[in-house]
Amino acid sequence: MQDARRAALSLGPVYYLWDGPKWRDFYFRIADEADIEHVTLGETVCSKRQHFSEPHVAEVIERLEAAGKTVTLSTLAMVTLERESRHVRDLVRDSAHPVEANDLSALGLLKGKPHSIGPLVNVYNAATARTLAARGADNICLPPELPAASILEMLRAMPGFSFELFAFGRMPLAISARCAHARSKGLTKDNCQFICGEDPDGLPLRKLDRQSFLVLNGVQTMSGTCLVLADDLAPLVAAGLSRVRLSPQDCDMPRVAALYRAALDGRIDGEEAIAELAAAYPAARFSNGFLHQQEGAAWVARGRSAS
């Protein structure tokens, strides 16, 4: 069982469309440089993107495992086509690695098998978590919109179970069968020309007053802010949080991982970590409002309890 006094660092799947060599080299660098113990990879957002990364999956897994990291493979967040359904069935049947469900359609296939639950599945209370655990889930990454009180309630209700928390990155808010990203550039989903690849960190949206609002990522809508919980994790880890998840952004992720590890280990304080994170990822404004029962885009500074 994971020592509750030291949460493991994990890395979620890349949500954006990066070309194959960039995707491969990103994970090679994670393998060689990042103090991360668990890596979840695989296309989660749009099945049309799979052919960019698929030629490199085997070598990426080999490199990550040679570096001592455990690997989990992600399912799609929305299954709408037969070929997508077939892909999920094949993944569950054939994978030698644990599978993370990011859509309820995968749960029936995974029943009775050890598996993980991703942050795109709405697990908001202990009753839901217990039901999923009884069906074979051995790790649940909680959605980023949960307040600390709800997280603490689940940790207390299920001591020893592996809960993971989405703690860095643009938050996944919604996913659609249509592609607003393509539409914004005068294209359709069926003839998108992989236009989302032009925005490796998502396409920012602005309100009429020009203020930053949301980010489009293909069929996915994400927060305009980057969730940063580097100064909010201590009470959750003390209560038994097992893993802290970082979501890949188009920035220096090994540096981000090093800062989170240092903050979790008490080698730097949260405020110092946040200042360093701002230098590592200057493209986004930070937020932590959901954890503090405020609007998600809000920033609650030190001194306001996360519990």
pLDDT tens digits along 43-72 = 999 999 999 999 999 999 999 999 999 999
Instruction: Judge residue 85's burial from the number of C-beta atoms within 10 Å of its C-beta, 0-12 exposed, 13-18 middle, 19 or more buried.
Output: middle
How high is the pLDDT of residue 75? Answer: 96
Give pLDDT, residue 117: 98
d(CA 272, CA 274): 5
Q: Confidence band (pLDDT; 50, 70, 90) for 209? A: confident
Tokens standing for residue 154: 């689940």
Residue 230, phi then psi, degrees to nearest 5: -60, -25
Give the pLDDT of residue 134. Answer: 96
Mark residue 160 as left, alpha or beta (left: phi above 0; alpha: psi -120 to 50; beta: remaining): left
Mean pLDDT (whole number) for 182-207: 88
| Mean pLDDT of the region 140-152 | 97
Assessment of whether the complete model's pTM goes beyond 0.85? yes
Instruction: Tell me what pLDDT residue 152 has.
Output: 97
34-63 burial code (b ≥16 CB/10 A, e <16): bebbbbbbbbbbbbbbeebbeebbeebbeb
**What is the pLDDT at residue 303?**
52
φ/ψ (deg, to 5) at 180: -70, -30
In this model, does residue 2 exceed pLDDT 60?
no
Q: What is the pLDDT of residue 188?
A: 83
More confident: 138 or 188:
138
> Is residue 304 very low, low, confident or very high in pLDDT (cuts 50, 70, 90)?
very low
Provide the pLDDT for residue 6: 84
Q: Is the pLDDT of residue 3 over 70?
A: no
Contact of 79 with 120, CB cutoff 8 Å: no
Residue of 70, 67, 71, 74 lying closest to 34 (CA atoms): 67
State pLDDT tens for residues 253-298.
999 999 999 999 999 999 999 999 999 999 889 999 999 999 999 9
Query: What was the pLDDT predicted at 1?
Result: 36
Q: What value does the mean pLDDT take over residues 38-47?
A: 95
Of 237 and 6, which is predicted with more confidence? Answer: 237
Q: How confident is the model at residue 212 (pLDDT cuts 50, 70, 90)?
A: confident
* pLDDT value, residue 180: 85
> What are the pLDDT digits (tens) for 77-120?
999 899 999 999 999 999 999 999 999 889 999 999 999 999 99
201 against 302, higher pLDDT:
201
| Distance in angstroms (rounded) separating the CA atoms of residues 136 and 299 | 36
Is the predicted pLDDT of residue 4 greater than 70, yes or no? no
